[in-house]
A and B are shown apart, each in its own frame.
Chain A
């Protein structure tokens, strides 16, 4: 969602196809995610149309994701998620406008999202302001143990037998998210680009995992049904031409109404070691506090109503990402720009194309353990 909203129009619009294969691996979970994205100018950057398809194949062998609950045994199972999105972008003088619709479906979750964005360039195009809005409306189900029946899920505090799969509000399985982002980009110097993004999201609806109750002494995990989230992220890109280096410090501060606050400083260093070869190294540190209803001992009482700041006794969670924890993520990326090959006979179609390989290793202090993120991608202009 964020990418469609926050990048309403790229600087170099063109007809392009990008294929990417993402890989995620940790102790109990493996994700394979091929994606394809196609953009077409009709006839130029005044109107760009695009479409994206994402396949998520999540293989899990852990109680952490509810495998045992769903399969009735300690088996591995693979969940498939399909996501399609269509978007339009328009660049008219110093104005840019964009819109998108996205649909995602998996066995027990359906998500729809639509959004609009606008941007304005100022001060001889050295400043870009942008504003984006997106609305997400998702439907949440629970697959019953052994029978495989799919029932609407309204949250741990609601009786699953009376939960409605349609309608709005408490007693329904609808999760609504209103998302707003404002962005600011500024050419601070002929070698320095400054960036600032502020984002907020208001989420209403069931936000607990319907399968994780098995890890607690209660029937179901129960989280608050309301959450307001806020993030601000400044950053700089500073190019050192003589050294062929780009330094990119970033920082993100996050705060929400569940009392989680998080800091994520990051440094990226891009190095062009040949005319068409570049590499990027990154290091990210992430640290967060615990949600107000987190308990280290996991000793929750059976909820009797809605979970909130005023009724903490009705909350129950086994979600590791709601605890206080931190992580370290080093990573490396190699990119080869295909322009070098495009000068040869028969290979002109490679002009403006590139291929990339990325690897990140996450050392995290949660029980998810270490994680590996990899990606291979190629992109061609046509």
Chain B
């Protein structure tokens, strides 16, 4: 039951984040988003290694990707 509550809370938080972002940010405003620390695609090799380790040591999987790798600032 506790797990289900946590799961529902996480899903609700994700939904709120997604639906709150309907404001379009112009290209000129995205300079900060182009920094390497804001770019998920720059961590591909590390995420692959963590995915490999977790597959061998944990019952779960996933969570090591991010769609498109981009902020639209490239």
Instruction: Report if A252-B60 is in contact (Cβ < 8 Å); known contacts: A20-B45, A337-B36, A373-B53.
Output: yes
Q: Is the interface of B mostly helix, strand, loop or mixed?
A: helix
Enumerate chain A residues within 8 angstroms of B51, measured Cβ to Cβ: 2-3
In the assembled complex, how far is the CB of residue A373 from the closest CB belonging to chain B, in whole angstroms?
6
Q: Considering the chains assembled together, what is the distance between the CA atoms of A79 and B17 in angstroms?
A: 45
A251 and B10 contacting across the interface, CB-CB below 8 Å: yes
A187 and B3 contacting across the interface, CB-CB below 8 Å: no
Residues 16 to 44 of chain B near chain A (Cβ within 8 Å): 17-18, 20-21, 23-27, 29-30, 32-42, 44
Interface string of A239-270 (1 = CB under 8 A from B): 10100001000111111101011111000001
Enumerate chain A residues within 8 angstroms of B68, measured Cβ to Cβ: 7-9, 96, 119, 121, 128-130, 183, 185
Sorting the interface of chain A by its residue count into under 10, 10 to 19, 20 to 34 or 35 or more gives 35 or more
In the assembled complex, how far is the CB of residue A308 from the closest CB belonging to chain B, in whole angstroms?
18
Enumerate chain A residues within 8 angstroms of B53, measured Cβ to Cβ: 24, 371, 373
Q: Considering the chains assembled together, what is the distance between the CA atoms of A246 and B43 in angstroms?
A: 15
Q: Considering the chains assembled together, what is the distance between the CA atoms of A185 and B40 in angstroms?
A: 10
B67 and A3 contacting across the interface, CB-CB below 8 Å: no
Chain B residue, CB-CB nearest to A253: B7
B32 and A191 contacting across the interface, CB-CB below 8 Å: yes
Instruction: Report if A236-B17 is in contact (Cβ < 8 Å); known contacts: A123-B24, A263-B3.
Output: yes
Chain B residue, CB-CB nearest to A229: B61
Q: Is the interface of A mostly helix, strand, loop or mixed?
A: strand
Contact among A186, A286, A354 with B21 in the assembled complex (CB-CB below 8 Å): A186
Chain B residue, CB-CB nearest to A199: B62
Contact among A194, A236, A253, A262 with B10 in the assembled complex (CB-CB below 8 Å): A253
In the assembled complex, how far is the CB of residue A188 from the closest CB belonging to chain B, in whole angstroms?
4
In the assembled complex, how far is the CB of residue A355 from the closest CB belonging to chain B, in whole angstroms?
13
Chain B residue, CB-CB nearest to A279: B37
Q: Considering the chains assembled together, what is the distance between the CA atoms of A201 and B61 in angstroms?
A: 9
Q: Considering the chains assembled together, what is the distance between the CA atoms of A261 and B3 in angstroms?
A: 8
Contact among A11, A124, A327 with B27 in the assembled complex (CB-CB below 8 Å): A124
A246 and B38 contacting across the interface, CB-CB below 8 Å: yes
Q: Considering the chains assembled together, what is the distance between the CA atoms of A327 and B50 in angstroms?
A: 14
Interface string of A128-144 (1 = CB under 8 A from B): 11100000000000000
Interface membership of A160, Cβ < 8 A? no
Chain B residue, CB-CB nearest to A20: B45
A11 and B21 contacting across the interface, CB-CB below 8 Å: no
Q: Considering the chains assembled together, what is the distance between the CA atoms of A343 and B27 in angstroms?
A: 29
Enumerate chain A residues within 8 angstroms of B65, measured Cβ to Cβ: 2-3, 5-7, 181, 183, 197, 199, 233
A187 and B33 contacting across the interface, CB-CB below 8 Å: yes
Could you show 16 A-B contacts with beta carbons less than 8 Å apart?
A2-B48, A2-B51, A2-B64, A3-B47, A119-B67, A121-B68, A125-B27, A188-B17, A195-B66, A237-B37, A246-B35, A254-B60, A278-B37, A358-B46, A373-B49, A377-B45
Known: A246-B37, A264-B63. 4 other contacts (CB 8 A): A12-B41, A18-B45, A130-B68, A184-B18
Nearest 6 pairs of A and B residues by beta carbon: A183-B67, A6-B65, A125-B72, A231-B62, A128-B68, A11-B74
